[in-house]
Amino acid sequence: MGGSLSFAVASAGVLAGAIVHFSSPEPAAPAAPQASSTAPTTQHGTVVAVTADSVTTRSDDGLIQTYRITPDTTAVTADRQQPASPAASFAVDDRVAVFATVQAGQHVATAVADQSAVGPDGPPMDYIAAP
């Protein structure tokens, strides 16, 4: 009788351990780091907000996107002036084209241009002097 009681207790312990082991969730694998990639993007729309380090535009289809402005962001105005910052050149309700890249999930403006300076009626963009 003692042997069968010991066997029952041991079996119950093994069974309980198996249940705990197989019902526990597997530890999550660490997330793979995102590759540093850039993807070009363009948006034509209306400025809805502008700060010293960002511009937010809404395209005609309703898409609203905020773009980070860096010291390398070029502003192209209708009179072909290139002030230091798009924040100094554009205001809410201006029609613009934003040329940007997506870097690590963040939209970074490479150029913000007055809508009349680009497109089929605007001058070619090759007049911008290289730094």
The structural domains of the chain, with segments of one domain joined by +, span 38-122
pLDDT digits (tens, 9 = 90+) for 58-107: 999 999 999 999 988 888 887 766 555 777 788 899 999 999 999 888 99
Residue 26 CB neighbours (<10 A): 5
pLDDT of residue 38: 67
Q: Could you tell me which of 31, 63, 28 has the C-alpha nearest to residue 46?
A: 63
CATH number of 38-122: 2.40.50.320
Report pTM.
Answer: 0.61
